Copies of this chain bind each other. A is one copy, B any other.
Amino acid sequence: MSLAIEQPVTNADRTFFQLRKDIVEGDIPAGAKLSETELSTKYAVSRAVIREAINRLMSCHLVERRANVGARVVSLTPEGLVELYQVRESLEGMAARLAAKNMSDSEISDLQGLLNRHFDKVKTGESYYQEAGDVDFHYRIILGSKNQHLIAVLVDGLYHLVRMYRVQLGMAGPRVTTAFDEHKHIVQAIANRDEELAEILMRRHILYSKNNIENKLTSHPNK
């Protein structure tokens, strides 16, 4: 694979990663209270470690804390999902623009290679594209922007929330082949160094994705 994975070094790191995983994947349900004492026994570390982990989870907007009361996992709402995608549209649009300007030729080649491999899979029908491939595609463009703030806000912050929504509202959905075409056009624009078009296409891509999800949520309001 390609993405340098974050390496835990301290106990608080490990606990933070574990907690984040448990929250994103729903093992700790949305809206649940995070009792420090309870978690410290569950993960076999001191409360100080748990508190540090919770502090970092707050930075990701995965939990909210009220002083002297405690921390809760955020609740997922349709409105929250819409707001999240609005921010993604804005930031990833800018990321695509900057990627068209700042990615090296070899990075762009790699990106095209990634897309071709995806195409083979989509063609042969094994289209469990979304979870791995889609995220990988977006990550590369975000990193390609070479903008540290952009990268930090998206990768360390919002993307875990995106994943939490995806996992818990169960969206592996279709949109596979159409999304693939959109990805292809975005890469084309980046390869042409057309900043303006790259941004527009990425914004549309995310907007479509948002509309797609909204439709599913409103047509199947249950679950």
CA of A167 to CA of B148, assembled, Å: 22
Known: A147-B86, A148-B83, A158-B149. A10 touches B68 (CB 8 A): yes
Tell me whether B87 and A91 are in contact (CB under 8 A).
yes
Q: Does A104 contact B (CB under 8 A)?
A: no
Q: Does A93 contact B (CB under 8 A)?
A: yes
Write the chain B residue with the least CB distance to A84.
Answer: B149
What residues of B have a CB within 8 angstroms of the CB of A204 in the complex?
A: none
Binds B, one of A17-25, A29-37, A52-60, A118-126: A52-60
Q: Does A61 contact B (CB under 8 A)?
A: yes
How near does chain B come to A127, taking the closest CB pair, in angstroms?
30
Helix, strand, loop or mixed for chain A's interface?
A: helix
**How many residues of A sit at the interface, in one of the four size bands?**
20 to 34
CA of A152 to CA of B169, assembled, Å: 24
What residues of B have a CB within 8 angstroms of the CB of A83 in the complex?
A: 147-150
How near does chain B come to A132, taking the closest CB pair, in angstroms?
25
Supply 17 A–B pairs (Cβ within 8 Å), ascending by A: A10-B68, A48-B48, A51-B52, A58-B59, A61-B149, A61-B152, A80-B148, A84-B149, A86-B149, A86-B150, A87-B94, A87-B147, A87-B150, A90-B90, A90-B93, A149-B158, A153-B153
What residues of B have a CB within 8 angstroms of the CB of A158 in the complex?
A: 149
A 142-193 contacts with B by CB, 8 A = 147-150, 152-153, 157-158
How near does chain B come to A165, taking the closest CB pair, in angstroms?
12
What residues of B have a CB within 8 angstroms of the CB of A149 in the complex?
A: 61, 83-84, 86-87, 158
CA of A83 to CA of B152, assembled, Å: 12
What residues of B have a CB within 8 angstroms of the CB of A91 in the complex?
A: 87, 90-91
Tell me whether A98 and B86 are in contact (CB under 8 A).
yes
What residues of B have a CB within 8 angstroms of the CB of A93 in the complex?
A: 90
What residues of B have a CB within 8 angstroms of the CB of A10 in the complex?
A: 67-68
